[in-house]
């Protein structure tokens, strides 16, 4: 996490552009720029700036926005935006996991026949489609074409859960599709590998039904590599969120990050990056915990 | 005459491969009487395992078994629907596989395996946990209560093998197929396991099909022996007859090598050539290309025919008159 904050901070410092110029515009004089920087501590040595910023993070204080939402507390900005992003992210994850559990299991059980080919082709399609393209296709088809879903804008879950589920469906699906494809393939491969294990045959030879054997000897074991991949895909999910929020006009952390980057609002970009970093690390830690619980060979 | 425990007639197993149908076992027929041990011998790919799996309905999805009948206690089980077969497996028919480590689900405890087995066949079990501990004690596991709490990777191969034997015998099956159960163990442990097997088998009054490629073990444990080559039975008789007066050239080769292994020799006799896989000819002796006694008659179909005072042999040279060669 500490290494992550270092990278986030210094990459942003190395980025071109000066926030003072963006905020003060064409009428900026060297004096007003110097004052702007001094007010916000931007004239201090980088190391001091970093330590100052890091200290703030530990108190959940990300500083104030420079240009995107001038002089607003970034923590408040995040508190307003983050729930929407988390909702879309969880929504997408739920769709991806549900789809892949069904498709992956169907494919593995029907290995080699038409159902398997269908599910696998769908998965290849999902992996090959760029998510932004798929997003536009969804808008074209389901929104403009059939009028089933709104093409732009998002009703936050705090206002209406149903509204959020409805208006968030397309962005969530756009993010979920490529992930569902990866999950499906992972699950299918793991299931097929475990189907051939000797303990599966032993279970059958002891008189256990096909269903019992599949659940306890095949699915139960395959879910471990599956969860590992789900955890790894979190990074992809967040990347997708940034793009898809822009396309569908979801007022979340992803679009905040893009807006801030255009406005050279380093503090906001950094804050968003740190939030994403915390999510990725948190999820990976959780995945490790779950895996240790599910697989005694990993537990200490 | 009483009904035999197992009566198999003309069992043929075919694998549907991308390259076409591959026969892996042809016209296998035998009977097994209650309480007896049948040794099944042959090299890898001779059809021993496939034959046994076909009997238990455990063939992989690419495999198809066809037979006149497979009768277990007089009931034809060759066409049982899956849920009927589930009832039979475990409590009546069971199989022990080669790899004790792979036979246990690595993410479940030993105790879980016993509880699951006890749930599917609750007959005869009072307290499953106590019975499981007792079963482990019988296979010389010193601390059964602790062993039941362990995961497979926390036990040694030899211990797992004994746990597996206890697990398979837990539901008191009448017929156990043991597929090279000692292949992965060292010699000393192998002897112990074989002895243990035999003792437990008598305890629960089970019959055995014992698959091995080791003639000495087969002789030690079996009443009758079947030798398979290239998917066919080439010789079938009492263990004594086969080991002391083998009639098929292939059996003779196996016995000779086994005797040499027991003695102290520098070189072992090798049966030259390889068995190859699949697409064996139907109209001539499949062993002919490797046989030291090859003759023109071998180029015609050779049936498995009874030989007086011996059993059955699939060789043109084996006749009632000629006792030894």
Domains of chain B listed by start with CATH number:
6-92+173-313 (3.40.50.300)
Q: Which of B86, B93, B112, B115 to mutate to test the interface with A (most CBs of A within 10 A)?
A: B86
Token pair 């442990």: residue: B189
The stretches in chain B having pLDDT less than 50 are 323-325
Q: Which residues of B189-214 are buried (b: 16+ CB within 10 A; e: fewer)?
A: bbebbbebbeebbeeeebbbbbbbbb
Is A201 near chain B, with CB under 8 Å?
Answer: yes
* Contacts of residue A65, Cβ cutoff 8 Å, sequence gap at least 6: A71, A72, A73, A74, A77, A260, A265, A267, A268
**With contact defined as beta carbons under 8 Å apart, do A121 and A107 qualify?**
no
Q: What does the DSSP assignment read for B187-222?
A: HHHHHHHHHHHHHHHHHTT-EEEEEES-HHHHHHH-
Query: How many CA atoms lie within 13 Å of A154's alpha carbon, on the beta-carbon side?
Result: 26
**With contact defined as beta carbons under 8 Å apart, do B18 and B51 qualify?**
no
Q: Which residue of B has its CA nearest to A109?
A: B61
CA–CA–CA angle B258, B49, B84 (5° rounding): 145
Whole-model pTM? Answer: 0.81
C-alpha–C-alpha distance, residues A178 and A92, integer Å: 10
Residue of B90, B105, B108 with shortest CB distance to A205: B90
What residues of chain A lie within 8 A of the CB of B81, using their CB? none
pLDDT tens digits in sequence order for chain A, 300 residues long: 777 777 777 777 766 666 666 666 767 777 777 777 777 777 777 777 788 777 777 777 777 777 666 667 888 888 888 888 889 999 999 999 999 999 999 999 888 788 888 888 888 887 777 777 887 888 777 777 777 777 777 887 777 888 888 888 888 888 888 899 999 999 999 999 999 899 999 999 998 998 999 999 999 999 999 999 999 888 888 888 888 888 888 888 888 888 888 877 878 888 888 888 888 899 999 999 999 899 888 765
Q: Which residues of B100-127 are buried (b: 16+ CB within 10 A; e: fewer)?
A: bbbbbbebbbbbbbbbbbbebbeeebee
State the burial class of residue B68 (Cβ atoms within 10 Å of its Cβ: 0-12, 13-18, 19+).
middle
According to the model, what pLDDT value does residue B30 have? 92
At residue B21, the 3 state secondary structure works out as strand
Query: How many CA atoms lie within 13 Å of A14's alpha carbon, on the beta-carbon side?
Result: 6
Q: Mind telling me how many Å the CA of B77 is from chain A's nearest CA?
A: 15
Q: How much is the ipTM here?
A: 0.83
What residues of chain B lie within 8 A of the CB of A295, using their CB? 106-107
């Amino acid at each position: 996490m500490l290494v992550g904050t270092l990278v986030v901070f210094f990459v942003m410092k190395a980025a071109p552009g000066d926030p003072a110029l963006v905020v003060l515009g064409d009428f900026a004089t060297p004096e007003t720029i110097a004052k702007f920087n001094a007010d916000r501590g931007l004239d201090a040595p980088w190391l001091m700036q970093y330590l100052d910023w890091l200290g703030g993070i530990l108190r959940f204080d990300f500083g104030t926005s420079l240009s995107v939402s001038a002089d607003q507390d970034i923590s408040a900005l995040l508190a307003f935006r983050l729930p929407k992003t988390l909702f879309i992210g969880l929504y997408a994850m739920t769709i991806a996991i549900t789809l892949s559990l069904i498709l992956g299991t169907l494919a593995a059980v029907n290995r080699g026949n038409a159902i398997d080919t269908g599910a696998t082709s769908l998965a290849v399609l999902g992996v090959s489609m760029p998510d932004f393209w798929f997003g536009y296709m969804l808008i074209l088809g389901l929104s403009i074409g059939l009028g089933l879903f709104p093409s732009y804008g998002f009703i936050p879950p705090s206002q209406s859960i149903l509204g959020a589920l409805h208006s968030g469906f397309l962005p969530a699906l756009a993010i979920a599709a490529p992930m569902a494809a990866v999950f499906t393939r992972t699950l299918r491969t793991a299931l097929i590998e475990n189907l051939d294990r000797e303990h599966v045959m032993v279970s059958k030879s002891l008189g256990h039904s096909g269903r019992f054997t599949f659940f306890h000897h095949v699915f139960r074991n395959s879910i471990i590599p599956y969860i590992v991949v789900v955890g790894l895909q979190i990074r992809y999910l967040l990347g997708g969120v940034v793009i898809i929020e822009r396309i569908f006009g979801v007022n979340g952390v992803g679009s905040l990050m893009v807006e801030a980057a255009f406005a050279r609002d380093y503090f906001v970009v950094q804050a968003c990056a740190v939030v994403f970093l915390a999510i990725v690390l948190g999820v990976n830690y959780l995945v490790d915990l779950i895996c240790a619980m599910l697989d005694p060979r990993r537990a200490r | 005459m009483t009904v035999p425990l197992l009566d198999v007639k003309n069992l043929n197993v075919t694998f549907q491969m991308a390259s076409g149908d591959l026969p892996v076992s042809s016209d296998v027929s035998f009977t097994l009487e209650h309480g007896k041990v049948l040794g099944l011998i042959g090299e890898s790919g001779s059809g021993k395992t496939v034959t046994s799996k076909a009997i238990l309905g455990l063939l992989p999805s690419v495999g198809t078994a066809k037979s006149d009948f497979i009768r277990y206690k007089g009931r034809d089980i060759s066409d049982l629907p899956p849920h009927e077969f589930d009832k039979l497996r475990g409590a009546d028919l069971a199989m022990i596989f080669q790899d004790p480590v792979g036979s246990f689900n690595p993410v479940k405890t030993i105790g879980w395996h016993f509880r699951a087995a006890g749930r599917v066949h609750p007959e005869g079990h009072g307290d499953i946990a106590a019975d499981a501990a007792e079963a482990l004690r019988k296979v010389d596991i010193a601390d059964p209560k602790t062993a039941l709490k362990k995961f497979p990777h926390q036990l040694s191969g030899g211990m797992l093998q004994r746990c597996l034997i206890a697990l398979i015998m837990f539901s008191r099956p009448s017929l156990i197929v043991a597929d090279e159960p000692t292949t992965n163990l060292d010699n000393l442990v192998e002897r112990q396991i074989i002895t243990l097997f035999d003792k437990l088998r008598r305890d629960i009054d089970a019959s055995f099909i014992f698959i091995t490629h080791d003639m000495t073990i087969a002789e030690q444990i079996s009443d009758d022996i079947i030798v398979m080559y290239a998917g066919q039975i080439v010789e079938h008789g009492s263990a004594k007859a086969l080991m002391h007066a083998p009639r098929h050239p292939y059996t003779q080769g196996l016995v000779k090598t086994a005797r040499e292994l027991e003695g102290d020799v520098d070189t072992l006799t090798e049966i030259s050539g390889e068995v190859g896989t699949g697409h064996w000819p139907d109209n001539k002796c499949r062993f002919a290309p490797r046989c030291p006694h090859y003759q023109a008659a071998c180029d015609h179909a050779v049936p498995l025919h009874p030989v007086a005072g011996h059993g059955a042999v699939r060789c043109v040279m084996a006749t009632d008159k000629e006792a030894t060669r």
